[in-house]
Amino acid sequence: MTTYPMPVLAAEELATAAARLEDAEVRLLCGSVVDPAGVIRAKHVPARRVGAFHAGGMGASPSWNVFCVDNAIAFTPRFGVVGDLRLRTDLAALRLLGDGVAWAPAEMFDQDGTPAPVCTRGLLRRTVAGLAERGLGAQVGCELEMVLTPRSGASWNAYGLGALLDIEPFVLDLLAAADRAGLPVEQIHAEYGDSQLEFSIAPTDPLTAADHVVLARLLACRVARRHDVAVSFSPLPFAGGSGNGAHQHLSLTQDGRPLLSGGRGPHGLTDDGAAVVGGIVAGLPQLTAVFAGSVLSPHRLQPGHWSGAFACWGWENREAAVRLCTATPGNPHGASVELKCIDPSANPYLATAAFLGLALEGLAGGAPLPPEVTVAPAELTPEEAARTAAVRLPDLASALGLLETSDLARLLLGEELLEALVAVRRHELDTYGGEDVEVVAEKLRYAWSA
Ligand code: GLU
Ligand code: MG
C-alpha cells in the first residue's frame, strides 16, 4: 500500500542502502524528477551520499517547475528564483543499472520537510493513498513508443520482422539492461511509423508504473548511446510521420473485486465500472493539456492515427480515446481501460494521477456511461456523434483555456501544479504555435529523451 507522504528511512536502513550500493560497486547515484513540461531532470551524487540524497535531499530552485522544453523559464508569481526545494530520493524504488550507476526517483519537499504541493510524484502517491482509503486498488500498464534516429536507410515495415532484425543488437542490449534494472518488459515490436519501436511494461501499482516509464526512457537512451543511435520520445518526431503515444492501461478493484468485468453492464462492466468509464470520458476535454499538452501534441492527435483523438469509448476501438479491453483468455491481465490520447510529452506521474483522479470522480459521482462508439469516431454522422456525445479533443489553445478554468483540474492537480503546467505549455504555444511544424518537430525532437 502506498503511504503518504514518503517516509524518512531510519539511520540503519540508510546504512543498509549504502552497503548495498557499495557491494554492487555503484559509484554514481542519479535521482530524477519529471517537470510539468514532461522533461526528466536529475541530480547526481557519489554513491556514498545515498543517505544524504534521501534524508535531507539535494537543492533545486522552485523554477525547476517552470523550466520549458527549450530551456526557457516561464516564471510565475509562485515560481521564481527565490526559495529552495529539496529533492529526496525514494530508496524503496532504487534500481541498479550496471556499470557503476544506480537510479532512484525523487520527490520534492520544502526545506522544513513538508511535501511540496507541486511535486508530481507526490501527487500520484497522494492519489493512490486516497484510492486505497476507499478500498480501491489500481494497476497500471504502460506502452512506450519511440523513434530511433538516424534512420538506418533500410526500409521499415510496420510490425515487420525484418525491421526488428535490423536493430536486433540494440533490442538485445535493451532487454539485458531492463532485466538488470528490474524493468518488466512484456513485448517489443516494430510500430507503424518509420523507425518506430514500441515496448510495453507489465501492469503494476501506479507509482511504480510511472517510475517504470522514467526508467524505461533512461535505459533506452542509455543503451542507444552505445549503438550510435538517438531515441526520440517526441509526440511528433517528424512532421508528416506517425506520432509517439504513451498509452496507459488501468484496471481497478473494489475490496478486491474487479470493477471492469463480471458485471451486468455493456461488455461485463459493473455499475461502478461504467461510472469509471463515464467519468474518464467526460473529463477528457478539460484535461487534454495534461495528457497531450505540448505544442506538437495536436499534430499527433489526428483521426486515423490510432492516437485517440475523440473523447468517447468503445470496445477494442483503437480510434477512441478510451478503449475498453475485456477479460478474455487472450487478455490474461483482465479487463482494462486504455487511455490512448496520452503522449510522451506528458509527465507520467501527472498523467497517471489525472487518469486515476478522473476514474475516482466518475465513481464517486456515479457518472453516466455514454453510448458506445463502435466505428472510427471521425465517421460518425452528426446525429450519431450527438447520440454518443463523441467530441474531438480540443486544440492546444482551447485545451489550455479549459484546463485553466476547470474546477475538476483544480481538484485533481491542485493550484500550484496547475499554475506551473499552464505556464510552461503557454510558453510552447506562444513561442512555437505559429511556426512551421517541420521546424518545431526538429527543434523539440529530443526534448523528452534522457
Ligand atoms: N502511434 C499511435 C499513437 O500516436 C498509436 C498506435 C497504436 O499503438 O495503436 O498513439
Ligand atoms: Mg502502439
State the pLDDT at residue 332. 87
Specify the amino acid at residue 110. D
d(CA 210, CA 373): 29
Contacts of 164 (CB under 8 A, 6+ apart): 171, 188, 189, 190
d(CA 10, CA 291): 37
Ligand 2 centroid to 402 CA: how many Å? 28
* 3-state DSSP assignment of residue 449: coil
Ligand 1 centroid to 227 CA: how many Å? 25
Mean pLDDT in consecutive groups of 10 residues from the start of the chain, 450 residues? 91 96 97 97 97 97 96 95 96 97 98 97 98 97 93 69 85 97 96 93 98 98 92 96 97 97 97 98 98 98 97 98 95 94 98 98 98 98 97 98 98 98 98 98 96
Contacts of 76 (CB under 8 A, 6+ apart): 66, 419, 420, 423
Closest CA to 388 of 331, 327, 317, 288: 317
Residue range(s) of every CATH 3.30.590.10 domain in the chain = 126-443
Ligand 1 atom, smallest distance to 143 CA: 8
| Cis peptide bond prior to 150, omega within 30° of 0 | yes
Protein residue with least CA distance to atom 8, ligand 1: 306
d(CA 59, CA 88): 9
d(CA 207, CA 120): 11
Global pTM value: 0.97
d(CA 316, CA 277): 14
State the pLDDT at residue 150. 72
**CATH dotted code for 11-116:** 3.10.20.70
Residue 123 burial class via C-beta count within 10 angstroms: exposed 0-12, middle 13-18, buried 19 and up: buried
Ligand 1 centroid to 306 CA: how many Å? 5
d(CA 85, CA 78): 13
**What's 138's DSSP letter?**
E
Give yes or no for a contact between 354 and 285, defined as CB atoms under 8 angstroms apart.
no
CB under 6 Å to ligand 1: residues? 145, 192, 242-245, 300, 305-307, 318, 340
Protein residue with least CA distance to atom 7, ligand 1: 306
Q: How far is CA 131 from CA 55, 121, 250, 302, in A?
A: 27, 15, 13, 33
Tens of pLDDT, residues 283-292: 999 999 999 9
Ligand 1 centroid to 142 CA: how many Å? 13
Ligand 1 atom, smallest distance to 196 CA: 1
Mutate to test the pocket of ligand 1, among 142, 195, 197, 306 (most ligand atoms within 8 A of CB): 306
Residue range(s) of every CATH 3.10.20.70 domain in the chain = 11-116
Ligand 1 centroid to 134 CA: how many Å? 33
Q: How would CATH label the architecture of 126-443? A: 2-Layer Sandwich (3.30)
State the pLDDT at residue 166. 82
